[in-house]
Homo-oligomer: A and B are copies of this chain.
Amino acid sequence: MLVTCGSHVALRTQHSDTLLAFGMRGDPTMYEHYWQQVGEKTTVVIRGWQHMSYFSDVSNICWFLEPELAEEIARVHRVVGNAVTEGRHIIVGTGSSQLFLAALFALSPRDGPEPVSVVSQAPFYSSYPSMTDCLKSGLYKWAGDAQSYSKEGPYIELVTSPNNPDGNVRRSVVNRSEGTLVHDLAYYWPQYTPISSPADHELMLFTVSKSTGHAGMRIGWALVKDQEVARRMIKFIELNTIGVSKDSQLRAAKVLKAVSDSSEHGGTWEGVESFFKFSYRVMAERWKLLREAVNSSRIFSLPEFPPAHCNFLNRVFEPQPAFAWLKCERDIDDCESFLRGHKILARGGKHFGVSPKYVRVSMLDRDNNFNLFVKRLSTIHL
């Protein structure tokens, strides 16, 4: 049976006039404010005759990767210290979604007797099951919660850390010899979680959507150790979209450069706060406001996270995730419906493979919307 996928956009469309749609997609519009402060330094100018070819760099295995973007990806990881790029192939994708699909294609055994199982520990990113199963591929198949997975043979485990939706730091849980791992590190940035060490896995995924807030660019990247896996991922992107928008790659390079430049200047950068200081500060304020609202309501609860040292910010702090994983307490069994009754639209736990007592709410909306959400939440009483 085909998985019916993603009714959230339709919902958002219906209700967009009523300001209900907190966190249906995690639209990172919070970051607009920072980039306005930065001003013209990240403006891109592209002329009609530029960047017309399919090809970006025929000497690179990833022939559609703009060299400027490759350089800035390596640099930002070096500056932040959140991932090892040495000895890795960098592959650009149309968002990390495309790279996730490319990874499934690349890691599936050739000519296996049946599709390889794809698992992830619940609660997992709600789009994983539908993305995996929508084409009924004979190469791979969604097999649910990694914690209850017990089949013999090859499998692919998706490790999202910090996790979407609940913000926890994750490690693989299946740990069998025939497994391969995909590390989705979209949120492994210092505004969300302490950077304890550079991630050093076989196949890691990142995206500008959640790091710099530029979701509309649709630019993600993979860091891949194995050359044959890299080659197959590139082949997938060739067959899927014949490469990735050059315009957005060039813009992403410029924005990542600004992130690195601003970080290297420490406190301020030509009068502008550094990107991660700004975004850390906004996330900290928002989590404080949200926790106050939740505590005053006595109806909801939020996960608690152990504090840890961040090598990049050189301070100890508790994770402040891009999503709030809100639980309805008492006898409220369907938190999504309950909140909808109070004009708050959030995604229920069943989308993430767990109880409907949970919902996911975006922490990255514009100030007005976030404040309205907290205000509405704090006025709910039983």
Contact = CB atoms under 8 A, between A and B. Distances in A.
A214 B52 CA distance: 5
Interface in A85-140: 94-95, 97-98, 101, 105, 110-111, 127, 130-131, 134-139
Interface stretch (A33-41, A152-160, A162-170, A313-321): A33-41
A36 B49 contact: yes
A245 interface: yes
A31 interface: yes
Copies of this chain per assembly: 2
Contacts of A242: 25, 95, 97, 215, 218
A205 interface: no
Contacts of A43: 45-48
A362 to B, nearest CB: 11
Contacts of A56: 216
A32 interface: yes
Contact of A38 (B48, B101, B135, B235): B48
A95 B236 CA distance: 14
B47 A213 contact: no
A240 B102 CA distance: 10
A6 B235 contact: yes
A16 interface: yes
B48 A35 contact: yes
B41 A27 contact: no
A70 B135 CA distance: 28
A243 to B, nearest CB: 6
Contact of A136 (B34, B47, B139): B139
A58 B25 CA distance: 13
Interface string A1-27: 110011001001100100000000101
Contacts of A243: 95, 216, 218
Nearest to A98: B241
Contacts of A5: 235, 238-239
A299 interface: no
Nearest to A7: B235
Contacts of A137: 135-138
Given A53-B216, A216-B247, 18 more contacts: A13-B63, A25-B55, A31-B52, A35-B49, A45-B45, A48-B254, A52-B214, A52-B215, A52-B216, A53-B215, A97-B240, A130-B239, A135-B139, A136-B138, A137-B138, A217-B245, A217-B247, A246-B248
12 contacts: A2-B111, A6-B238, A13-B58, A13-B59, A29-B53, A35-B47, A43-B45, A53-B216, A94-B241, A98-B241, A216-B247, A218-B244
